[in-house]
Structure 1
Amino acid sequence: MKEDDPRLEQNKREKPVSQMGKVISTGFIGGVFWSFLAYVASILNYTEIKPSLILQPIALGDWKNGTLGEFISIVLIGVISIGVALVYFAVLKRFTSMWIGIAYGAALWGLVFFILNPMFPDLKMIFELPRGTIVTTVCIYILYGLFVGYSISFDYNELNTNNEN
């Protein structure tokens, strides 16, 4: 057998994942990971807000307030996070600064807690929430925005740098 035989495993190349595939997977993984961390924070009483908050506007059974509801909510947040990542990709992908991702996460927090607040009947107004809940949720949203934003921007700029060479 020849060393450069294309049938040999060591000579096969993996097809690269498309940039859109990376954005989608970054969004989903970021949403699942950070909402799971929010669930852990709620178990440890750092925050009153759980991921199942997203199921409140939907008339479902009492299961939505249990562990099953939390895990379904975590996956649902991951799916919604794909859209959030696609918005970041469409608008902010060319920025290389981590501060853009941090600002994006803070803007998402503001969107959920100020603008979308009336959608969630059990969510208190922001000024009625305990300070610990506010600080914890702001931090989680900022870290989520940083993760999604910097991952997408880094990948986009890395691909463009390689294409120019």
Structure 2
Amino acid sequence: MANDHKIENYPKPMSFLTMVFWTGLFGGVFWGTIGYIASYFNFTEVGPNVILGPWSLGDWKNGWIGTVVSIMLMGVLSIFTAFVYYALLRKFKGIWFGLGYGLVLFFLVFFILNPLFPGIKPFSDLSRDTIITSICLYIVYGTFIGYSINFVFELNKVQEKEAST
């Protein structure tokens, strides 16, 4: 009975890279859903369906199926962005790097990649509400990704240090 609480009896924690994968997937799906809600209530002109805009897939891409597919695709793309954050910024402490990462992603989408998405007007033609809402969404998304990855990175460092002593 005393041996029931050995460490071997507990499941192994996720590897750091697995955690980055799930953080990216969850972040993309969650914040994509929040973006859909913001577009539904007209806080922004840019909904998740714009991601399907470059492809001629039929009218379904503008309906609820297109919204679900778009949010899932955002989750998949978010896995990539989480690994980019992991590769470049995981060692930096604090939320400021995640916030900055969100701003960089905003500028990447709305300025550099804008021509790829016909559903997004040129930046100068977007409403003030759309710009403010989009910046806020990208900031909280970047903060979520950055802080989650940084927190686990720092936790792993502490655990490794304790295990080596």
TM-score in terms of structure 2 length: 0.94
Aligned pair count reads 162
**1:84 corresponds to:** 81
- In 1, the alpha carbon distance for the partners of 2:85 and 2:25 equals 13
Establish whether residue 159 from structure 1 lines up as the match of residue 156 from structure 2: yes
* Distance apart, 1:14 and its partner CA: 0.8
Q: Where in structure 2 are there 5+ consecutive unaligned residues?
A: none
- Tell me which of 68, 72, 76 is aligned to 1:71: 68
One-letter code aligned to 2:22: S
Contact 2:46 2:119 (8 Å CA) reproduced: no
**What is the distance in 1 between the residues matched to 2:105 and 2:140?**
11
Residue 52 in 1 paired to residue 37 in 2?
Answer: no
The answer as to 2:144 corresponding to 1:138 is no
Match of 2:98 among 81, 101, 108: 101
TM-score by length of 1: 0.94
Q: Provide the aligned C-alpha RMSD in A.
A: 1.6
Aligned to 2:2, the other structure's residue is in SS state: coil
> Does the aligned pair in 2 maintain the 1:23–1:85 contact within 8 Å?
yes
C-alpha separation between the residues in 2 aligned to 1:72 and 1:147?
22
Partner of 1:4: 3
Q: CA deviation at 1:122?
A: 2.5
Shift of residue 24, structure 1, vs aligned partner: 0.3
For residue 17 of structure 2, what is the aligned residue in structure 1?
20
Q: Does the CA contact (< 8 Å) of 1:4 and 1:11 recur in 2?
A: no
Structure 2 counterpart of 1:3, one-letter code: A
Identity of aligned pairs, percent?
46
